[in-house]
Chain A
Amino acid sequence: MRRLALLSVLVLAFLAPPAPQPRAEPSSGRPVADGSATRDPAPFEVVPRQDSLLFYPCSQCHEFMPGHPLLVASTRPPPPHPERLNHGGDRLWCRTCHSLDDTDHLYTLRGQPVSFDEVYRVCGQCHSHRERDWLFGGHGKRLGNWRGERRLYLCTNCHDPHDPTIKPRKARPPPPLRAGLEPIATVPKGPTMIWDERVSP
């Protein structure tokens, strides 16, 4: 019941425009920048992702393996599906974004099919600020040129939608030192924070 209420609130909050064409041309109904209310994001192309998905089209398998009618949120789908969903706490589950009736598309909360190459329309339902930044170039990465045609990475080119946090990794090596020299000593770090000074064991 609680989930249903949340869903209906989200649906009302994100009344999305009709499904756009493969070549994204943001209409004037798209979110606009704070500073310039009339501004639309510049047209862009995305780095296609759908064709690079390993098992796409999903319907190749799901034609013969219809979803279990009793599929519920606690069900663990077998491989190659992701083992667990580490996204959104317990608010989301498979069918928040996927549909068993049409496995080749993502679905918005309103039930509109969305291509895997327009995944930002699904992500932007919750992450609307990120989506706006992404459309205007304040989030994500533009490839190749700084002027002319914009070519952008999709959300899912960088984030695993089932585990979107970027994991820590090894950094590139630090700057080399001249032979025989020690690194330049920085100011010694003491208890700089007030809680480090005041709170003693």
Chain B
Amino acid sequence: MTKQRKSPGDSCQAGASRRDVIKGLGTVGAATVVGAGVAWAAPAWDGAVLDDALGDFLQDHYRRMTPEEIAGALARIERRAKRTYGVDITCEDTPPLDGVVFGYALNLSKCRGYRECVEGCIRENNQGRDSQVQYIRVLEIDKGTMNLEGSDHYYDPETVPQPGKVYMPVQCQQCDDPPCVKACPIEATWMEPDGIVVIDYNWCIGCRYCMAACPYWARHFNWNDPQIPAAEVNPSTNYLGNRPRMRGVTEKCHFCTQRTRKGRQPACQEACPTGARIFGNLLDPASEIRYVLENKTVFRLKEELGTEPKFWYFTDV
């Protein structure tokens, strides 16, 4: 599952020829615009250049794009965010780190159901404020059971934790054998070398097969364009991460690729006030997550399905 990106020289003949034809059409269109007295690359209609109008349509799969094409895609994302939200964002394509496979451990004894991780995730990942797209779902479960079917994630009492309840945040478990990847008919989602299952939002056709395949209810569908107040848009974004998404694509937790690939903690870990969340490199024997996995009694959710989640739960002592 290594990223294979073609160099500018070689090309997939069939796809390239199709694109070349359409690009040619685009050039004709541009010539028309120029002929109408508008300078090339100047804002044409609604502040958009021709690239913005056709670029997304012509864009290839992330893993087949050349570095130049990626740069163009990132620039288009930044311009679109400026048009949509009026905010200057930076969109990067941060590569996975060598010798790193990310894992997460969550201490159920510490989680108290504050939903601070949910809030931190929404703000970090530019999720629509009124949409149901929330990567983390905190389940309220009766003590003495592990009945996910009987759990409630709409709980809203005066104070948490409520007596007789335990709280279990569930998000993408970053399976090592991810069923969502198998289900995707167009390979718009895949596992990166650092173990994060990512989505090329531009390639996604919104069929939602992956949502049906996921046993953790971790994937979400964008029914609307995300509505975010301009002041709250997170301007530090990543192509495979938290860049503003479009309507009609599926998305999910990506372990905050925009942060973790630069050595920072994911936003949910940073937001959690209880210290229940422990994130780190599974390949580093000195890491905190390895300490937890080696010294605590841990379990994985629905492990019997064989999806090999890289997300563990544990309790104190």
Contact = CB atoms under 8 A, between A and B. Distances in A.
Interface of A: 33-36, 39, 42, 129, 133, 136-148, 153, 158, 166, 168-178, 183-184, 186-187, 189, 192-193
Nearest to A176: B130
B264 A144 contact: yes
A177 B223 CA distance: 13
23 contacts: A34-B295, A36-B294, A138-B107, A138-B295, A142-B288, A145-B264, A147-B284, A153-B275, A158-B274, A171-B113, A171-B114, A171-B157, A172-B118, A172-B119, A173-B115, A173-B156, A175-B137, A175-B154, A177-B154, A178-B132, A192-B142, A192-B147, A193-B144
B145 interface: yes
A174 B153 CA distance: 7
B156 A171 contact: yes
B149 interface: yes
A184 B132 CA distance: 13
Interface stretch (B22-30, B158-166, B303-311): B158-166
B291 interface: yes
Interface residues of B, number: 56
B285 to A, nearest CB: 8
B296 interface: yes
A195 to B, nearest CB: 10
Contacts of A129: 317
B66 interface: no
Contacts of A142: 265, 288
A15 B160 CA distance: 39
Contacts of A138: 107, 278, 288, 291-292, 295-296
A43 to B, nearest CB: 11
Contacts of B115: 171-174
Given A137-B280, A144-B270, A171-B114, 8 more contacts: A137-B288, A145-B264, A146-B279, A147-B263, A168-B112, A171-B159, A172-B119, A192-B147
A170 B317 CA distance: 27
B317 A146 contact: no
Contact of A177 (B116, B132, B142, B147): B132
Contacts of A170: 158-160
B160 A158 contact: no
A169 B112 CA distance: 9
Given A129-B317, A193-B144, A169 B130 contact: no
B275 A141 contact: yes
Contacts of A176: 130-132
A175 B157 CA distance: 14
B275 A140 contact: yes
B94 interface: no
Contacts of A140: 275
Contacts of B158: 170
B23 to A, nearest CB: 40
B4 to A, nearest CB: 27
